[in-house]
Amino acid sequence: MTQVNNAGNDIIRAGEELAAFITRYPRLWVITGAGVSTDSGIPDYRDANGQWKRSPPVQHGDFMASKAVRQRYWARALIGFKAMGQAPVGGAHRVLAALEAQGLVEAVVTQNVDRLHQRAGSKRVIDLHGRADTVSCMRCGYRMMRYAMHAEMAQMNPRFAALDAAHAPDGDADLETDFSTFEIYPCPRCSGILKPDVVYYGDVVPPERRLAAQAALARSKAVLAVGTSLMVYSGYRFCREAHAMGLPIASLSLGVTRADALLSHQWRAPLTPVLEHALACLRPG
């Protein structure tokens, strides 16, 4: 296995090796994680060793069972989600879209919920963990855009809407206060619980997404993991399947991954510079 650490000319070397990998396997199944969006100002959850930098995200069961958990979640989101909604497309998103346009990417399976791959121009995107910009009622299925729900809650909670705090992953914010007075906007159709269209911890990836990702994997020549530690099983499982199929698996990230033992190539280096150099190597002339 080739492994490059971030130092000096290693970015150039990693980019050249990645370009060679793509040339050899020109139908990539790409899986991306939070590291792809950090250049866009969206924080990630894990450090270079794959350990949590902060408390794990909310569990599905806790969100559904506890009003207090939902009050804390939505009050913090009223502040933090602005960063995700306003986040610019990053260099890594643009390179992956360019590789797809060149016919080199079979699918981008993203564990992110920010929709930045689509905004960058990628067409073959599978949002494995859903999308954060819409919400659905857990009782009747009513769906609405999240910005509209936030606008309603801002009017209901002017004191919370005026607060500020550091941004956290997935539209959260590092706000700690008394949330007991926060008013949650209910489903306008049935007054049920509205929840972002995101796979929380304790949720299950919908079968249609899993099957679509597996079908794309079956059409691919190799796997490229970008900006992900693959610590979550919903992403790691595909690397296990690819390994069982005999497909080469490469990783570009800043740290360890759960799939390290399965990798044929590993580059521990900054994502955007390596991807941009690889793209430059692939362009004619």
- C-alpha to C-alpha distance for 11 and 150, rounded to whole angstroms: 41
For residue 59, give its domain range: 2-282
146-156 and 67-86 are packed helices; what angle lies between their axes, rounded to 10 degrees?
120
Of how many residues is the chain composed?
Answer: 285
pLDDT value at position 152? Answer: 98
Give the per-residue pLDDT at 39: 93
Assess contact for 275 and 91: CB atoms under 8 A: yes
pLDDT number for residue 21: 98
- Active-site residue numbers? 129
CATH number at residue 48: 3.40.50.1220
pLDDT of residue 48: 65
**pTM of the predicted model as reported, rounded to 2 decimal places:** 0.91
**Sign, Cα dihedral of 22, 24, 26, 30:** negative
Are residues 28 and 220 in contact, defined by beta-carbon separation less than 8 angstroms? yes
Q: What is the pLDDT of residue 46?
A: 59
pLDDT at 169: 72
Quickly tell me which residue has 């450090």 as its tokens: 47
Instruction: Look at the chain and report how many structural domains it folds into.
Output: 1
pLDDT along the chain (285 residues), means of 10: 55 96 97 95 69 72 96 94 88 98 98 96 98 97 97 97 83 90 98 96 92 98 97 95 98 95 97 97 78
Rounded to 10 degrees, what is the CA torsion of 251, 281, 102, 34? 30
* Other Cβ atoms closer than 10 A to 160: 21
Residue ranges of the binding site: 137, 140, 187, 190
Strands (E), 71-206: 105-110, 125-127, 130-137, 143-145, 194-198
Would you list which residues are annotated within the binding site for Zn(2+)? 137, 140, 187, 190
DSSP 8: T
Task: Say what the pLDDT of residue 68 is.
Answer: 97
